[in-house]
């Protein structure tokens, strides 16, 4: 969800500028972990409403809607690290992805228990232990990862293009 459907970096850049007066760019933080790039990240994600008001990732609504017509889509979000985010995250998903029913949602603390055919995710910690096909959605923190078994996708257009013939 975060980094694939929800554009967390868009908000991180805004909040960093608010807190420090400096507008960072993707180039400034490429390859850094989120907490390395943004010293106040933990404070922000623990703030009430942070996950309720995130912007939607470009192309994700149309892209996921099309996939939803051809695959059994389940949206899985690491969420239990921040208990107060759980309801916010579901309400956000219900607002922006109305075609995803409550039966297609999972909020968890570890994705290792998930069994499926394809995973689209930005984090190696989720992709590396997944037994099916893995698409690594490009985000600043994973930009410098190379020579990996995961198929890199830079945008929702690329996700759609890759999966449309299945």
Are the beta carbons of 60 and 5 closer than 8 angstroms? Answer: yes
d(CA 4, CA 111): 15
Interacting positions 115-144 with its own copies (CB under 8 A): 115-116
Residue 42 engages its own copies in binding (rule: CB under 8 A): no
Residue 21 engages its own copies in binding (rule: CB under 8 A): no
Residue 23 engages its own copies in binding (rule: CB under 8 A): no
Question: Of 22, 27, 48, 103, which lies in the binding site for its own copies, with binding defined by CB under 8 A?
Answer: 103
Are the beta carbons of 159 and 63 closer than 8 angstroms? Answer: yes
Nearest partner of 136 among 121, 156, 125, 158, judged by Cα: 121
Paired sense of beta strands 151-153 and 133-137, if any: parallel
Residue 90 engages its own copies in binding (rule: CB under 8 A): yes
Q: Would you say 130 or 137 has its CB closer to its own copies?
A: 130
Residue 110 engages its own copies in binding (rule: CB under 8 A): yes
Residue 48 engages its own copies in binding (rule: CB under 8 A): no
Helix pair 60-68, 156-163: axis angle to 10 deg = 20
Interacting positions 51-80 with its own copies (CB under 8 A): 74, 79-80
d(CA 118, CA 166): 12
| Residue 123 CB, nearest approach to its own copies (Å) | 14
Strand partners, 151: 135
| Residue 94 CB, nearest approach to its own copies (Å) | 7
Question: Of 47, 53, 62, 87, which lies in the binding site for its own copies, with binding defined by CB under 8 A?
Answer: 87
Residues forming the site for its own copies (CB under 8 A): 74, 79-81, 83-84, 86-87, 90-91, 94, 101-110, 113-116
């Amino acid at each position: 969800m975060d980094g694939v459907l929800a554009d967390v970096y868009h908000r991180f850049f805004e909040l960093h500028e608010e807190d420090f007066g400096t507008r960072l760019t993707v180039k400034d933080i490429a390859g850094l972990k989120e907490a390395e790039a943004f010293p106040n990240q933990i404070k922000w994600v623990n703030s009430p409403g942070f996950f309720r008001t995130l912007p939607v990732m470009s192309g994700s609504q149309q892209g996921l809607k099309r996939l939803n017509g051809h695959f059994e889509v389940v949206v899985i979000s690491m969420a239990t690290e921040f208990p107060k985010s759980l309801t916010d995250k579901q309400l956000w998903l219900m607002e922006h992805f109305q075609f995803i029913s409550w039966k297609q949602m999972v909020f968890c603390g570890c994705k290792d228990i998930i069994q499926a055919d394809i995973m689209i995710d930005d984090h190696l910690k989720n992709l590396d232990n997944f037994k099916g096909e893995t698409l690594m959605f490009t985000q600043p923190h994973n930009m410098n990862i190379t020579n990996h078994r995961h198929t890199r996708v830079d945008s929702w257009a690329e996700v759609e293009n890759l999966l449309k013939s299945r």
